[in-house]
Structure 1
Amino acid sequence: MPSRKMLSPDLYKLTALQAGPLLLGQHLVRRTEDGEIRCRIVETESYGGAEDKGSHAYGGRRTARTEVMFSAGGTAYVYLIYGMYHCVNVVTGAEHDPHAVLIRAVEPLTSTDAARMAAYRGITVKKPASLSGGPGKLCRALRIDKSLNGCRLDDPFGPLWLEQGDSPENLDIAAAPRINIPYAEEYAPLPWRFYLRGNPYVSVIDKQAKPLILS
């Protein structure tokens, strides 16, 4: 049976840049009508507050869409892109300081989890990344949509939450630029995407990625 050991509240207090690599190896849990699905987070991107030109909240922009980013850390920020794909983020940091970590890829923990995710996607999985390697893919596989926007990720009785998984200090982590944000100008090439090197569920492998050592 799952341990149900919740993620440390201290992680939610960190900036997005600090929290991004520390979320790798942790478990994202989705409660559905068919049962719980557990996944290991294998790829993240950090969006570092009002000064980050890649962030929806750049310049302190507060709109109906971005308001959740100004919540206290531990809140889910879910939004729609291209009118069809949802993305899920972990809001971190202090209230009114908009930091968020995009979850870009997850790995199902068991074959049962994988089968349920494939059924929700309505696909035959030819390679792991096609199941949940990408923010839109994982949201479809976990039935995450805007109805979960604003839910607390530290509540194990809710629809979506985070539990402790692997110790990030023991993982082989790569750091690379974030994906598809040319509008972020000087922030675009910063190595604020983190992933587990060699994991088949990672969405994009960067041959120029650098190893990240956590102290």
Structure 2
Amino acid sequence: MGGGELSSAALPRSFFERPSHEVAPDLLGRVLVHGPVAVRLTEVEAYGGPGEDPAAHTYRGRTPRNAVMFGPAGHIYVYFTYGMHFCANLVCLPEGHGSAVLMRGGEIVAGLDVARARRTSGRRVPDRDLARGPARLATALGLAREHNGLDAVREGPVEGWPRQAAAVLEGRPADPGLIRSGPRTGISTAKETPWRFWIDADPTVSPYRAHVPRRRSAAATSVGEAPSS
């Protein structure tokens, strides 16, 4: 990877060892790399720990399903939703606490052809939509069940990383004057908590959708609303 945001340093683990609602706005403008694809984050949502955030997967404590959220900060927590999509999160706080930031949207800044091939299945999709929404973002990055627990903290130059390594780069942090916050998308509990953060007027930010009750057998499209496991 060459110049600019793609040659910036990887964020240290200490960056993620903070409350998720502090990490979330600081992730805007950062670049998540997985293998050949890199996404500059433009929209994220924070989810709190056990007993404090009813919308979080960790609300009722540790389970086999959410165990990665209780692991070291900076790891990727991947979950399956609606029986057909994966979503990816970055774990926050030191080991044992159980919180994360859901990555909801971003701009593809490397590996555009690879991301498009993963996302389009022969259909023409505008570049702005390739990682616009949490399931699309995970698909574009090639993140799936087998990547649950992948460490996104790296040291040394990009050229020395394993082929399918993940990392969060410093990138170009968003202008604080352009960062907005509001209620999280599509959840039925703690739905007024203003822990969704995005870059104002960025075309890769997904539209806000309030929760609409419906019958389903899988988890919803946020870190919250998970069936117990």
Contact 1:148 1:159 in 2 (8 A): no
Which amino acid is 1:29 matched to? Answer: V
Note if 1:81 corresponds to 2:76.
Answer: no
Matches within 5 A, 1:64-213: 64-110=64-110, 113-121=111-119, 122=121, 123-126=123-126, 128-129=128-129, 131-155=130-154, 156-157=161-162, 159-170=165-176, 172-182=178-188, 184=189, 187-205=190-208
Contact 2:8 2:171 in 1 (8 A): no
SS of the residue 1:40 aligns to: strand
How far the C-alpha of 1:205 sits from its partner, in A, is 4.8
1:57 aligns with 2:63: no
Q: In 1, Cα distance between the equivalents of 2:127 and 2:11?
A: 29
Which residues in structure 2 correspond to 1:42-53 (within 5 Å)? 42-50=42-50, 51-53=52-54
In the alignment of these two chains, the number of paired residues is 195
| Inter-partner Cα distance in structure 2 for 1:8 and 1:205 | 31
**Equivalent residue in structure 2 for 1:15, among 19, 38, 45:** 19
Contact 1:174 1:194 survives alignment (8 Å): yes
**Residue identity matched to 1:108:** I
Paired residue type of 1:16: S
Q: Which stretch shows the higher mean deviation, 146-155 or 2-11?
A: 2-11
The TM-score normalised by the length of structure 1 is: 0.85
Give distance in 1, aligned partners of 2:20 and 2:153.
17
Letter in 2 for 1:165: G
- Please list the CA deviations of residues 99-134 of structure 1 after superposition, one character each: whole Å capped at 9, or x if unmatched: 100000010115xx33321111123113613x1111
Structure 2 unaligned regions, length at least 5? 155-160, 210-229
Structure-1 separation of matches of 2:142 and 2:39: 13
2:44 pairs with 1:38: no
Q: CA RMSD in A?
A: 1.7
Structure 1 runs, 4 residues or longer, greater than 4 Å off: none
For each residue in 1:7-48, what CA deviation from the matched residue of structure 2 results, as whole angstroms up to 9, or x when unmatched? 1332111110110100110001011xxxx1111000000001
Whole-angstrom distance in 2 between the partners of 1:171 and 1:91: 26
More strand by share: 1
The aligned counterpart of 1:24 is: 28
TM-score of the superposed pair, with normalisation by structure 2: 0.80
The alignment partner of 2:139 has SS state of helix
Q: In the superposition, relative to structure 1, how do residues 9 and 188 fare at CA in structure 2: closer, same or farther (>3 Å)?
A: same
